[in-house]
A = this chain, B = another copy of it.
Amino acid sequence: MSIKVGIVGYGTIGKRVADGVAASPGMEVAGVTGRRYACKMDIARQRGYPVYVAPDGASEFQDRGFEVGGTMEDLCEEADIIVDATPSKVPAQNMPLYEAKGVKAIVQGGEDHALTGFSFSSLANYEEALNREHARVVSCNTTGLSRLISTLDGAYGVENVFVTLIRRAADPKESKKGPINAVKPVMGVSHHGPDVMTVMPHINIYSMAVAVPHTLSHVHTLRVRLETPPTKRELVELFDSTPRIVLRKGKEGFSDTAQIAEYYRDFRPRYDMPELFIWDEPLDVVDNYAYIMANVHQESIVVPENIDCIKAMCGMETDKMKAIYETDKALGIAKDKRCYT
């Protein structure tokens, strides 16, 4: 029996999760929601995803030859689990419907932790998601940080973390947001540190953030105090053997975020990079501190975690590393199998 996944909100995250579901054995896309016709819905149709539409929008789709599966309410009947990737604050309005329909629901990191009472990141807390009704997959930045910090914590013990986030101003498709010629600080502590603590409450972390005129990715600089610090070589080996973390040299064609995107344009759909990318050259260990610079592809990094979360909540796989391995294989991002033990 295949798990039927409904995708509510066919935008940046929703369309990628739909493709991830379609690629994953044991689950299928029950449908995606659309409000008004736009060219992106042609993509959904080409991929065979049933489209569910609000009643006042149905004729617009039907006029263009779409077969409309029904409304969002119908999709909740059809699906075993909903991945809600609508704009921030909309999932809170949708949640009563999911509860009324008795359908499981995943929301994204733009929502408050309190909406589901549980925040998910695979490497950190996969098992806690097993058979849950509701979960929140944390945001792109928090996903990157959770992967990195849980890995370091397991290997060397993390005493504290200070991270600076150099955030992209907007996603590539957006032209109405900014800044376009300013560096814009978050005034006060950024929410990212506290957000990591929704996943790993025992981590002592402080974060600051600025937004810069750039769309491709977020860049993190970290100073991590470790209980038993490794050498740089050991750190490189740790990252090389960890799923969803890629470590490469800038001088090999990854000297900036534009070059990273260019490399992935050559062989990944949408130049997606669900892996956390770590630059080799700036990586260093001095005294008890590891210094790390990382790149987070904001549009795709949460996709594997959404797929994992579906698996856990629907009880498809109880073993964390097996779940992660199967997801990574399906998404085409698997490393050597030894990395999953």
Chain A, 242-262, contact with B by CB distance < 8 Å: what is the 0/1 string? 000000100011111011011
CB of B39 within 8 A of CB of A254, answer yes
| A147: min CB distance to chain B, Å | 22
Count class of interface residues, chain A: 20 to 34
Residues of B contacting A271 with CB < 8 Å?
Answer: 265, 270-271
Q: Is the CB of B173 within 8 A of A38?
A: no
Q: Smallest CB–CB gap between A8 and chain B, Å?
A: 19
Using Cβ atoms and an 8 Å threshold, which residues of chain B touch A259?
173, 175
Q: Which residue of B lies closest to A41 (CB)?
A: B253
Interface residues in A26-68 by Cβ distance below 8 A to B read 37-40, 43, 46
Query: In the bound complex, do residue A263 and residue B39 qualify as a contact, i.e. CB atoms below 8 Å apart?
Result: yes
A259 vs B254: C-alpha distance when bound (angstroms): 26
**Interface presence of A181 (CB below 8 A):** yes
Q: Are B39 and A174 in contact (CB under 8 A)?
A: no
Residues of B with C-beta under 8 A to A262: 40, 172-173
Complex partner residue of A252 from B37, B255, B269, CB under 8 angstroms: B37
- B residues within 8 A CB of A254? 39
Chain A positions 208-265 with a Cβ under 8 Å from a chain B Cβ = 248, 252-256, 258-259, 261-263, 265
Among A282-324, those with CB < 8 Å from B are none
Tell me the bound Cα distance from A46 to B172 in angstroms.
28
* Residue pair A270, B263 in contact (C-beta under 8 Å): no
Cβ A172 vs Cβ B258 within 8 A = yes
A132 CB to closest chain B CB, in angstroms?
A: 31
- Chain A 83-108, CB-CB to B under 8 Å as 1, else 0, gives 00000000000000000000000000
Partner of A253, one of B40, B172, B181: B40
Asked, given contacts A39-B263, A181-B181, whether A175 binds B252 with beta carbons under 8 Å apart, the answer is: no
Question: Which of B38, B175, B248, B266 is within 8 Å of A40, CB to CB?
Answer: B266
Interface residues of A (CB under 8 A from B): 15, 37-40, 43, 46, 172-175, 181, 248, 252-256, 258-259, 261-263, 265-267, 269-271
Among all A-B residue pairs, the 7 with the closest Cβ atoms: A173-B262, A39-B253, A38-B253, A265-B270, A43-B266, A175-B256, A175-B258
